[in-house]
Structure 1
Amino acid sequence: TTRYVAWPKGVLATLLKRNPTMDVAVQSVLSTDLIQKLSGNSNPDQKNSKEPSTQESASG
């Protein structure tokens, strides 16, 4: 199951301009997520871990 949150682009841009701390937080979360996906480390159990996980993937 995939869950997501959506906002109209203009509304989100206005919100983030009014709340710089929130803007930094959102950018940080998105950047971290993208880096993990690009590095092949998208398993949440491996977050902040430098050792390989011993858990087997359900997808194979």
Structure 2
Amino acid sequence: MINTAMANGFTSAETVACSQELDILITQYQKKLLTVQKTKKVYQTFNSIYTFFLKPSFKTSDDIKDL
């Protein structure tokens, strides 16, 4: 886009088209990034729930040896 703007001007149709395409790509990237962040948060929440409710909290004989 920068090369196009420098060659054809910042308001040329080609530069504007490149700018619009870049806007679309940035928006798509941000949406995917947000989806990944939300998915990661869901996994962290499930892991926390598992750890709190399902993981045994009693000590085994191996754990006592380590103390």
Greater helix content: 2
The structure number with the bigger radius of gyration is 2
- For normalisation by structure 2, the TM-score amounts to 0.38
Greater relative CO (CA pairs within 8 A, separation 6+): 2
- For normalisation by structure 1, the TM-score amounts to 0.41
